[in-house]
Structure 1
C-alpha cells in the first residue's frame, strides 16, 4: 500500500451515524459535529453506518473481478457518450492510465438490466450495495439540519434524484514514478460517499497543502460536492481532492455520487448559512 507519514495525514472528523438514532441530545451533538466537518473540512469519515461488512467486501471483490476480465468481455470505451447509462473505458493521465466504470443506479429497476452480467453475480452484488447506501438519505437529512433547515428539506427530491456509481481501478505505479491517478477536482454532486480498497485519497487543506486521508477500515468517506456548496450559500465548500495509486497493489474505489434530478436547479436555501 502507499506509504503515509503521520505529519502528512489529514485530520479527518469521524461521524458515528448510529448516534442519529439515539436520544435528542446525542443527535444534536452529532449534527453540530457534521456542521463543523462540512464547514471546516468538506469531508468526513462515517462509521456504524449499517452497511454490512460482507456487502462492502463483495462489492469490492466483484468489481476487482470485473476489471480483471479480458477487454472483449468488459466492452467498448463509451466514456465520452454521456447518454450511456453504463460507460466503461480507460482514462489516461499523463503516462498513467486507470480503468473506469460508470453506472446509473437510481431508480435501480430502470438501470439494472443494463449493467454488466459478468462476472457472475455482478448485478446482484452491486445492486445490493447501491440499495444499502440508504445511509445517504440519513446523512443528507442531518446535513440539512446542520444548516438550520428542516431535516426533511429537499429529502424527497434527493431520494428521487440521481445516483451514479463511479468505479475506478488503479494499477500499481512504480515507486520511481508515483503519479496522480485522478487529477485534482471537486465532485459535481450534493454528496459523494466513497469506498476504498486501500489508501490513496488526498484532499487539499485550508493552507493549500495536499494531505493523505488515512483509511479507516469499515468506514466510508463523505465528500461535499459542488451542488451542496451552492445549496449552503457557500458555507460548506466542495472539497478539492485527487487519487494516488499504490506502488504495490491494484487500488479500487467505488464513488456514489448523489444529486437532485437532472432537470432540477440547485439554489441557495433560504436559511442556509444563518
Structure 2
C-alpha cells in the first residue's frame, strides 16, 4: 500500500547533528527521526548541519548582486547558451522561461549551476544532458561563493543519504555507488516583490525530480501539500534548511516516501531561494528496493532511468528546450513521463 502523508499543519524539525557522530547508535537514532519525518510529511526542516553561516551569507550576497544587474547584462548568460556537446542546462533563467504542469508562467528569475565539469569530460563529450561546464557571469566573487556553498551543501546531501540508508535498513554507504558524478543542480532564485500582484503562485505546484532537495530560503512563501490535500505554510527557520523527498526516493521506496507537492505563493517581501536538487548519477536505473518491491509497488513504479527522468521533466518545463522539441531538434527519452507524475498533487485538484 502506498504511504499517505498525515494531515500535518507544520513541518517536522530534525536535528541531524547525530549523523556526524562516531557512535552508530546515535546515527541510527537520528536516522529514525529522518524516517518519521519522511513518512509523515515528506518535507521537514534540518538543523545541526555543517553548512556555515558565512557560506550561506556569501551565496545570498552573490545572488542579490547578480539579480540586481540590468536585464540585458543577465541575458548574456541565458541558459540556452550552455548548449554545446551536451545540454548542460546552466545559466540565467529569465522570468517566464519555466512553465509547470498547470501551464502558468512562473513569477521568478533564476541562475542554474551544477557540478562544474570540463568540456572534455567523457560524459560531456558523449553528450550526456544536464552535465557540463557552468556558465559563470563576470561578477567578482560569484564563482567563489557558489563553489563554496555547493561543496558544503553537497556534503550535507551525502550525510543525509547515509541517514536515509540507515532509515531504510540498508548499509550506511549503500547509495554512495550512485553518487560519483550526479547532475545535482544548485539554483539561485529571485522572486521580485510586486505590491500590485494578486495572490497567485510564484512557482506552480510540482514535485522535485531528483532524490531530495536541500533548500535555503530567505523569506516566507513556500507552501507544502499535506496528506489531506491542504496547502501548509513552510516559513524559514533561522539556520535551518528545508528538505523534501523527490521523485527518485519515492520510486526507490515503492511509495513509502512520497515526493511532496509544493509551490511558492506571492510574498509580502522580496524573496531569494537556493535549492540544491540532490540527484543520483545520470545512468542510475531506479526501481523499488527489494524490501519495498510489493506487487503493487512493482506495478506502480516501473524501473526508471534517473537522468532521463530529470532531463525529460526539464525539457517539458523550460521554454528554450520546448522550442527545440517542437522543431524536432530534440527528442524526449523513451518512456518519458508527463509533468506532475509523482507526489500527492496527482491525487487532489489544485485550488
Same fold (TM over 0.5): yes
Unaligned runs of 5+ in 2: 1-7, 122-130, 295-351
- TM-fit CA distance, 1:168: 1.3
State the Cα RMSD in Å.
2.6
Q: Please tell me whether residue 38 in structure 1 is matched to residue 38 in structure 2.
A: yes
- TM-fit CA distance, 1:38: 0.7
Q: Please tell me whether residue 151 in structure 1 is matched to residue 161 in structure 2.
A: no
Partner of 1:21: 20
Q: How big is each residue's C-alpha offset from its partner over 1:178-227, in whole Å with a ceiling of 9 and x where there is no partner?
A: 22111000000001110101111110001110000121111111110001
1:104–1:163 CA contact under 8 A, matched in 2: yes
Larger of the two Rg values belongs to structure = 2
- TM-fit CA distance, 1:87: 3.0
Partner of 1:231: 252
If asked which structure has higher relative contact order (CA below 8 Å, sep 6+), I would say 1
**Runs ≥4 in structure 1, deviation > 4 angstroms?**
79-82, 93-96, 106-113
Q: How big is each residue's C-alpha offset from its partner over 1:201-260, in whole Å with a ceiling of 9 and x where there is no partner?
A: 11000111000012111111111000100011110000100012322x320101101111
How far, CA to CA, are the matches of 1:45 and 1:243 in structure 2?
17
Q: How big is each residue's C-alpha offset from its partner over 1:118-144, in whole Å with a ceiling of 9 and x where there is no partner?
A: 321100010000001201001011112
Greater Cα shift, 204-213 or 102-111: 102-111
TM-score, normalised to structure 2, is 0.69
Q: How big is each residue's C-alpha offset from its partner over 1:21-43, in whole Å with a ceiling of 9 and x where there is no partner?
A: 33333322211111111111001
1:163–1:258 CA contact under 8 A, matched in 2: yes
How far, CA to CA, are the matches of 2:193 and 2:118 in structure 1?
33
Partner of 1:270: 290
Q: Higher strand proportion, which one?
A: 1
1:106–1:164 CA contact under 8 A, matched in 2: no
Q: Please tell me whether residue 91 in structure 1 is matched to residue 111 in structure 2.
A: no
Partner of 1:115: 135
Partner of 1:259: 279
Instruction: Please show how residues 153-192 of structure 1 align to structure 2 within 5 Å.
Output: 153-174=174-195, 177-192=198-213
Q: How big is each residue's C-alpha offset from its partner over 1:3-56, in whole Å with a ceiling of 9 and x where there is no partner?
A: xxxxxx942111112112333333222111111111110011111101110110
Q: Structure 1 pair 29/175, CA: closer, same or farther in 2 (3 Å)? A: farther
Partner of 1:78: 79
1:137–1:159 CA contact under 8 A, matched in 2: no
Greater Cα shift, 206-215 or 72-81: 72-81
Where 2:190 maps in the other structure, the secondary structure is: strand
Greater Cα shift, 20-29 or 107-116: 107-116
How far, CA to CA, are the matches of 2:14 and 2:173 in structure 1?
20
1:147–1:272 CA contact under 8 A, matched in 2: no
Q: Structure 1 pair 159/263, CA: closer, same or farther in 2 (3 Å)? A: closer
Q: Please tell me whether residue 101 in structure 1 is matched to residue 111 in structure 2.
A: yes
Q: Structure 1 pair 180/103, CA: closer, same or farther in 2 (3 Å)? A: same
1:163–1:256 CA contact under 8 A, matched in 2: yes
2:42–2:244 CA contact under 8 A, matched in 1: yes
Partner of 2:298: none
Partner of 1:131: 151
How far, CA to CA, are the matches of 1:144 and 1:218 in structure 2?
25
2:91–2:111 CA contact under 8 A, matched in 1: yes
Q: Structure 1 pair 233/108, CA: closer, same or farther in 2 (3 Å)? A: farther
TM-score, normalised to structure 1, is 0.88
